[in-house]
Amino acid sequence: MTLTLHERGLFTWTEWATFLNQAINDAQAAGDPDHGNTYYSHWLTALERICAFKELLTGDMLLQRQNEWDIAARHTPHGQPIVLE
């Protein structure tokens, strides 16, 4: 998603790097030991933040998608791809 949004010109790679760096710094400040196993979480936080900052989505839109993802994941058999409808 990040690459596609960047390729569509919705943010520069420099902007992305700034948001990712901030997400990592925030996590470390909150006690994340940064062993590498939480990188995906930092990436997702940065993506959510840059999309909100660029007004590509609203907080309500993000919450709705998170809920849809949660429901779909709980109803998907292990090993199968999660499909959002």
Q: What is the pLDDT of the chain when averaged over all its residues?
A: 94
How far apart, in whole angstroms, are the C-alpha atoms of residue 2 and residue 45? 12
Domain shared by 12 and 45, yes or no = yes
> What is the predicted pLDDT for the residue at 52?
94
- pTM, full prediction: 0.80
Domain shared by 6 and 40, yes or no = yes
pLDDT surpasses 90 at 84: no
Q: Which domain holds residue 33?
A: 2-54
Digit-coded pLDDT (tens) for 15-72: 999 999 999 999 999 999 888 899 999 999 999 999 999 999 998 999 998 899 899 9
Helices (H) and strands (E) in the chain, counts: 4, 0
Domain shared by 12 and 32, yes or no = yes
How far apart, in whole angstroms, are the C-alpha atoms of residue 19 and residue 60? 21
Domain shared by 50 and 17, yes or no = yes
> What is the predicted pLDDT for the residue at 85?
78
Which tokens is 28 given?
């470390």
Domain shared by 69 and 49, yes or no = no
